Amino acid sequence: MKEKPLCENGCDPGLENYNPVMKRARLSLLGFLLTATLWPSLGAEPAHDFAKWEKEIAAFEVADRTNPPPTNALLFVGSSTIRLWTTLATDFPDQRIINRGFGGSEIADSTHFVDRLVFPYAPRAIFFRAGGNDIAAGKAPEAVFADFKEFVATVHARLPEVDIYFIAWNPTPSRWQNRDKEKSFNDSVQEFSRHTPHLKFIETHAMVMGGDGKPRSELFIADQLHFNAAGYKLLAERVRPFLPK
């Protein structure tokens, strides 16, 4: 067998044009293309869709122009527990109330729309409940808590003396599997509220629990997620002691 001739420096002729810099560049490009191809399957978090709430937020603004809300009122804001709390005015008849709940929302949604959802009302106090949808969507309690802190910081940057009352998450039959994550989030907010001025925590866990250690189904509508009239009556009793005098 005829031996392969050597190049001038004694190398294999096939390596005569070898360039290590170009090889590294090709490998880097290959790695980038593989990553870009696999990225969707690696669980990358999609961009949050704030635009889906535009119609609902705009409807609040139209209603405000038609029927101007009261000043120095109590603002209730958050997800479906707030949106469906249609008895707020009768539950707290001695208070001026504004309800700006939008069902299905996450904490980041309230923060994103704070310039249109909170600041125009210059509220006397804010009662806030959100975070359950975040956890149900797969967010870790730590990430939900980080979003909550951002909401508080955003509000207090403009309204530093306004009290924010966080209405905690209670277990529900339909999301019973999320109870540990919801509790972890609640615990973080409760601890944070202990050393954060103008932030209060309203506990709601015990009010829904039955003797069997599970949520009482008779407090919820058919979806076993949202309160019925009996559930809202208990919630109002929990919130009432925190109302400003």
Which carries the bigger pLDDT value, residue 42 or residue 239? 239
Torsion of CA 115, 117, 119, 122, to 10 degrees: 170
Give the Cα separation of 220 and 171 in Å (integer): 11
Same domain, 107 and 18: no
Same domain, 28 and 114: no
Give the Cα separation of 160 and 192 in Å (integer): 16
211-240 pLDDT, tens digit each: 999 999 999 999 999 999 999 999 999 999
Instruction: pLDDT band for 24, please (50, 70, 90 cuts).
Output: low
| 72 token code pair | 């120095």
The whole-number pLDDT of residue 8 equals 45
Same domain, 95 and 213: yes
Same domain, 73 and 160: yes
CATH of the domain at 166: 3.40.50.1110
Q: Total structural domains in the chain? A: 2
Same domain, 94 and 32: no
Same domain, 59 and 85: yes
Whether residue 1 lies inside any domain: the answer is no
Which carries the bigger pLDDT value, residue 22 or residue 226? 226
Whether residue 143 lies inside any domain: the answer is yes
77-104 pLDDT, tens digit each: 999 999 999 999 999 999 999 999 998 9
- The percentage of the chain sitting over the pLDDT mark of 90, rounded to a whole number, equals 79
Whether residue 125 lies inside any domain: the answer is yes
Residue 204 has pLDDT above 80, yes or no: yes
Whether residue 6 lies inside any domain: the answer is no
Instruction: pLDDT band for 32, please (50, 70, 90 cuts).
Output: very low
Q: Which domain holds residue 135?
A: 51-242
Same domain, 111 and 28: no
Same domain, 80 and 147: yes
Give the Cα separation of 117 and 215 in Å (integer): 32
147 and 134 in contact (C-beta within 8 Å)?
Answer: yes
Which carries the bigger pLDDT value, residue 33 or residue 202? 202
Same domain, 191 and 82: yes
Whether residue 215 lies inside any domain: the answer is yes
Whether residue 7 lies inside any domain: the answer is no
99-156 pLDDT, tens digit each: 999 989 999 999 999 999 999 999 999 999 999 999 999 999 999 999 999 999 999 9
Same domain, 97 and 31: no
The whole-number pLDDT of residue 35 equals 43
Whether residue 5 lies inside any domain: the answer is no
Q: The whole model's pTM is what?
A: 0.81
Which carries the bigger pLDDT value, residue 49 or residue 184? 184
Same domain, 29 and 80: no
Same domain, 27 and 89: no
Residue 40 has pLDDT above 50, yes or no: no
